């Protein structure tokens, strides 16, 4: 099946305490998003790459591409107000059939093996996501106190999350629901079962300044 990926880069710099959107921050000397796009290009150089960006960041992005001479082909789509709307916009803006992956722009350290497992499994089962085990204890808040949660069988979900195009397109016609924490939960609500594959532990989501420190360190580790 033909392969596409929607790279969703919606974040502002707020949680990073930075004016630069986090997806443009430098990682190993290049904007973070370059690494993310390159990871998919390295997986399959004919993959269709759609980058979903907030409208007010598109000009800066184009400038960065020129400045760094970044020439992996990708289409740009305007993001929406929420992640749900951004993915929806992305799905509307191109007509590809086959397999559609959705990936967080701020996960630059996804491995080729992870991408490959997710796409292969989605090709067979229709929907697949990468997960890693939880190594720490978990608690659920209940009012002023909390209750311990059995971590057995609980997994941390990463991206890319990959689906057959008809499955994800139909699922995203649903109304938004607060239980939609990721694309798999949207597809699941639509009635589809999600297969899990093993992710790579370096594939962290960069959400705060400490994550950026860890990402730089993991990048060096993976390159050495």
Q: Does 12 bind a copy of itself (CB under 8 A)?
A: no
CB of 111 to a copy of itself, least distance (A): 12
Name which of 45 and 137 has its Cβ closer to a copy of itself.
137
**Strands lying side by side in the sheet with 3-8:** 75-78, 48-53, 3-8, 99-104, 161-164, 127-133, 195-198
Q: Residue with structure tokens 């195009």?
A: 165
* Binder of a copy of itself out of 58, 64, 72, 156 (CB under 8 A): 156
Alpha-carbon distance of 115 to 55, in angstroms, equals: 28
* Binder of a copy of itself out of 44, 72, 76, 134 (CB under 8 A): 134
Q: Does 140 bind a copy of itself (CB under 8 A)?
A: yes
* Binder of a copy of itself out of 1, 14, 28, 149 (CB under 8 A): 149
Q: Does 153 bind a copy of itself (CB under 8 A)?
A: yes
CB of 153 to a copy of itself, least distance (A): 4
Q: Does 155 bind a copy of itself (CB under 8 A)?
A: yes
Q: Does 129 bind a copy of itself (CB under 8 A)?
A: yes
* Binder of a copy of itself out of 13, 80, 98, 201 (CB under 8 A): 201
CB of 180 to a copy of itself, least distance (A): 9
Q: What is the DSSP string of 169-224?
A: HHHTTSPP-TT--SHHHHHHHTT---EEEE--TT-----SHHHHHHHHHHHHHHH-
* Binder of a copy of itself out of 12, 151, 172, 177 (CB under 8 A): 151
Alpha-carbon distance of 74 to 89, in angstroms, equals: 16
Contact 4, 98 (CB under 8 A): yes
Give the dihedral sign, CA 34/36/42/48.
Answer: negative
Q: Which of 57, 40, 180, 47 is nearest to 104 (CA)?
A: 40
* 3-state class (DSSP) for residue 108: coil
Q: Does 135 bind a copy of itself (CB under 8 A)?
A: yes
Q: Does 210 bind a copy of itself (CB under 8 A)?
A: yes
Q: Does 146 bind a copy of itself (CB under 8 A)?
A: yes
Residues lying near a copy of itself in the complex (CB under 8 A) = 129, 131, 134-142, 144-151, 153-158, 179, 181-182, 184-185, 188, 193-196, 201-202, 205, 207-208, 210, 213-214, 216-218, 221
């Amino acid at each position: 099946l033909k392969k596409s990926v929607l790279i969703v880069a919606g974040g502002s710099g707020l949680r990073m305490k930075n004016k630069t959107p986090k997806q443009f921050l430098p990682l190993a000397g290049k904007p973070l998003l370059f690494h993310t796009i390159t990871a998919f290009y390295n997986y399959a150089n004919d993959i269709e790459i759609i980058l979903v960006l907030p409208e007010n960041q598109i000009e800066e992005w184009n400038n960065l591409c020129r400045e760094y001479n970044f020439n992996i082909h990708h289409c740009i789509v305007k993001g929406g107000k929420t992640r749900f709307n951004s993915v929806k916009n992305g799905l509307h803006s191109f007509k590809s059939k086959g397999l559609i992956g959705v990936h967080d722009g701020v996960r630059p350290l996804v491995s080729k093996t992870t991408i490959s497992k997710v796409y292969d499994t989605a090709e067979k089962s229709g929907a697949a996501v990468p997960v890693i085990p939880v190594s720490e204890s978990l608690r659920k808040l209940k009012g002023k106190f909390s209750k311990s949660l059995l971590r057995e069988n609980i997994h941390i979900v990463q991206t890319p999350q990959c689906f057959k195009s008809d499955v994800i397109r139909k699922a995203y016609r649903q109304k938004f629901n607060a239980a939609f924490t990721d694309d798999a939960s949207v597809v699941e609500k639509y009635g589809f079962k999600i297969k899990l594959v093993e992710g790579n532990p370096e594939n962290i989501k960069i959400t705060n300044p400490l994550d950026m420190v860890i990402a730089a360190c993991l990048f060096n580790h993976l390159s050495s």
